[in-house]
Amino acid sequence: MARVLFLSVCFILLLNNATVFGGESTTSAILVDVGHSRSQSGAVSARGRTEFEFNRDMARAITAALRRNGIQNVILFNEEGANMSIAERVRRINALQPLLVISIHHNSLFPKYLKNWSWQGKPRRYCEKYRGASVYFSQENDFAGQSRAIAADLRLQMAKAGMNLHQHPELELRKKDIVAFPGQAGLYRYDSLGVLRGADCPAVLLECGMIVNRDEELLLRDKAYQRKLAAVVAKSVKNQLKLLETIGK
């Protein structure tokens, strides 16, 4: 049964992959999901900018980098920031039948790790201790094996590029039921993340950095850094497309 399932998965991936580089089909695309929405905008940075704005900027940069790397069939999902439940987001994403979902987010921390300061006359919250990017997959995704492989490669490419990778405080791991992997800083299993669990294809969630860290916030707003991170993501996606093609043969 497992073998039949595996072969079926490979066949489906091969079929899907056939149109990835064609740029004509709306199916089999790499879907870049802009996390959150304008009205439910996620975390707030040390200087008061919403996570949604960071997510949209980075998702645009990643979309452009994928296209520069020859992957024309890319869907930038919810760039306009429409409000929707996680269930609705999953439904709409699955209706587009993507080959891979990359959900773009930026990270914050529990309030106990944050300190007070003032920026442009307004009270804000920040942290000094933690920073860095992290990548998540869900073991409850129907393509958990592929999702994990893609997340691990993305983490590896970021490490090779010298990017900071986030090590969660133990408290956050326990409270959120997140699993870390020794020797693979920045890679996490987080089964209950709705988009990852519900996607009908391999899916990973990228927390691009810690926007409550004052230094990292400035880095994440820098266009050159956005391009650098986007290039690493595009390289990793290209690696994984090659892998999927190999499996398909």
d(CA 243, CA 136): 20
Nearest approach, Cβ of residue 105 and Zn ion (Å): 3
Residue number of the CB closest to Zn ion reads 105
Query: Which CB sits closer to Zn ion, 100 or 104?
Result: 104
- Least distance CB 225 / Zn ion (angstroms): 19
Q: CB within 8 A of 106, min separation 6: which ones?
A: 35, 42, 43, 45, 51, 54, 55, 58, 207, 208, 209, 210, 211, 220
- Which one, 35 or 98, has the nearer CB to Zn ion? 35
| Residue in the structure block whose two tokens are 């987080």 | 190
Nearer to Zn ion, 42 or 202 (CB): 42
| Distance between first and last Cα of the chain | 20
- Of 197 and 244, which has the nearer Cβ to Zn ion? 197
Q: How many residues bind Zn ion (CB under 5 A)?
A: 3
CA nearest neighbour of 210 among 130, 102, 124, 113: 130
Could you tell me if 220 and 106 are in contact, meaning their C-beta atoms sit under 8 angstroms apart?
yes
Encoded one letter per residue, x for contact with Zn ion by CB under 5 A and - for no contact, window 117-136 reads --------------------
Query: Whole-angstrom Cα distance, residue 107 to residue 127?
Result: 12
Nearer to Zn ion, 13 or 211 (CB): 211
- Binding to Zn ion (CB under 5 A) within 98-117 occurs at 105
For residue 187, the minimal CB distance to Zn ion (Å) is: 18
Task: Give the shortest CB-78-to-Zn ion separation in angstroms.
Answer: 13
Residue 89 near Zn ion by CB under 5 A: no
By rule CB under 5 A, what string of x and - marks binding of each residue 13-52 to Zn ion?
Answer: ----------------------x------x----------
Residues shown for the chain:
249
Nearer to Zn ion, 71 or 135 (CB): 135
Task: Please give the order of strands across the beta sheet that includes 30-34.
Answer: 74-77, 30-34, 100-107, 203-210, 134-137, 187-189, 179-180
How many helices, marked H, and strands, marked E, lie in the chain?
8, 9
Residues near Zn ion, by CB under 5 A: 35, 42, 105
